[in-house]
């Protein structure tokens, strides 16, 4: 998968380009499924046609006209038909402790059930605010790796911080941007190997491990995840665990859809989920050409 930093190399374009995309999603939705000409979209964004084309292509890797196809609800249904991933066996999920993600090798460690039951007591968690390909992100990390990524464009900073700190109420939280910046750079395509620290109940961690097996550009369903973890009747509980995934993007809960092909929910806002799926879909198609 192409490096996000190749399309958005500096902090300012990261936020700027995503904000343009976010506004364009709203405008495309308002069109009721009708494709909008490049000139119309550019005017709605208060940009020249040429500049809008450059911004869009730099972020998405494809033209605005083509990208609109990836932002429609029909795209999710096409993914279900063409890039549906069946998670058949637990031993295929990397449950032994090593997973493959975004064509990068990832190191991760799960907290023991006993440690989780202490609600984060004894944990020092650093946090900071960073730009990303999908808007501002709140990142959190222990000394073992990233334990949280939360996108703030839909929720706002205060709500995102309150949400994340409430998950481990007995932990000590310190704002330390410089300390965790290398982990965030690795998470979004920089140098180094992403390290994750999964902090959750045993059932949640099983679900999150299954999510790690879904390749970029592909999707699966909540029922497939339930079967993969050996509990096919727990579809509702799987959906809850997917929604409680604390490490958005890296643990790709955005790739879990309903059987019908509907997007379902997304904890950090459906526009973010759609943008992620569209971004990955565009790159998967480019790689296949």
DSSP state of 219: B
Query: 163 φ, ψ to 5°?
Result: -60, -50
User: For residues 137 and 4, what is the distance between their CA atoms, to the nearest angstrom?
Assistant: 15
Q: Report yes or no: 247 and 147 within 8 Å, Cβ to Cβ.
A: yes
Q: Of the candidates 194, 287, 264, 223, which has an alpha carbon nearest to the alpha carbon of residue 85? A: 223
The Cα-based distances of 110 to 16, 116, 183, 195 in angstroms read 35, 10, 17, 11
147 is catalytic: no
Alpha helices in 98-213 (DSSP H): 113-117, 157-167, 177-187, 202-211
Direct distance between the N- and C-terminal alpha carbons of the chain, in angstroms, rounded to an integer: 13
User: For residues 122 and 199, what is the distance between their CA atoms, to the nearest angstrom?
Assistant: 13
User: For residues 25 and 68, what is the distance between their CA atoms, to the nearest angstrom?
Assistant: 8
User: For residues 53 and 40, what is the distance between their CA atoms, to the nearest angstrom?
Assistant: 12
DSSP state of 124: E
User: For residues 99 and 108, what is the distance between their CA atoms, to the nearest angstrom?
Assistant: 8
User: For residues 39 and 47, what is the distance between their CA atoms, to the nearest angstrom?
Assistant: 9
User: For residues 288 and 218, what is the distance between their CA atoms, to the nearest angstrom?
Assistant: 13
Q: Give CA torsion, residues 231, 237, 239, 245, to 10 deg.
A: -100
Q: Which of 95, 234, 253, 282 is catalytic?
A: 253
Active site residues: 253
């Amino acid at each position: 998968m192409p490096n996000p930093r190749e399309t958005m190399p500096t902090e300012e374009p990261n936020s700027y380009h995503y904000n343009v995309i976010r506004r364009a999603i709203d405008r495309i939705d308002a069109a009721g499924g009708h494709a909008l000409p490049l000139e119309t979209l550019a005017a709605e964004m208060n940009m020249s046609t040429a500049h809008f084309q450059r911004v869009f292509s730099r972020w998405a890797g494809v033209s605005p006209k083509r990208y609109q196809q990836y932002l429609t609800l029909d795209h999710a249904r096409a993914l279900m038909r063409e890039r549906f991933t069946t998670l058949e066996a637990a031993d295929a999920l990397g449950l032994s402790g090593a997973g493959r993600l975004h064509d990068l090798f990832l190191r991760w460690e799960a907290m023991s059930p006993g440690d989780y039951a202490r609600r984060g007591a004894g944990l020092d968690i650093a946090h900071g605010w960073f730009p990303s390909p999908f808007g501002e992100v709140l990142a959190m990390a222990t000394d073992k790796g990233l334990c949280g990524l939360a996108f703030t464009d839909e929720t706002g900073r205060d709500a995102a911080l309150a949400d994340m700190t409430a998950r481990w109420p007995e932990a000590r939280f310190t704002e330390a941007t410089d300390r965790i910046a290398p982990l965030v750079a690795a998470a979004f395509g920089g140098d180094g190997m992403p390290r994750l620290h999964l902090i959750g109940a045993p059932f949640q961690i099983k679900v999150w491990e299954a999510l790690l097996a879904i390749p970029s550009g592909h999707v699966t369903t909540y029922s497939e995840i339930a079967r993969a973890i050996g509990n096919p009747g727990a579809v509702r509980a799987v959906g809850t665990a997917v929604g409680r995934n604390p490490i958005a993007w890296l643990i790709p809960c955005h790739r879990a859809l309903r059987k019908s092909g509907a997007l379902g929910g997304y904890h950090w806002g459906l526009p973010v989920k759609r943008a992620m799926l569209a971004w990955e879909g565009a790159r998967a198609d480019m790689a296949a050409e």
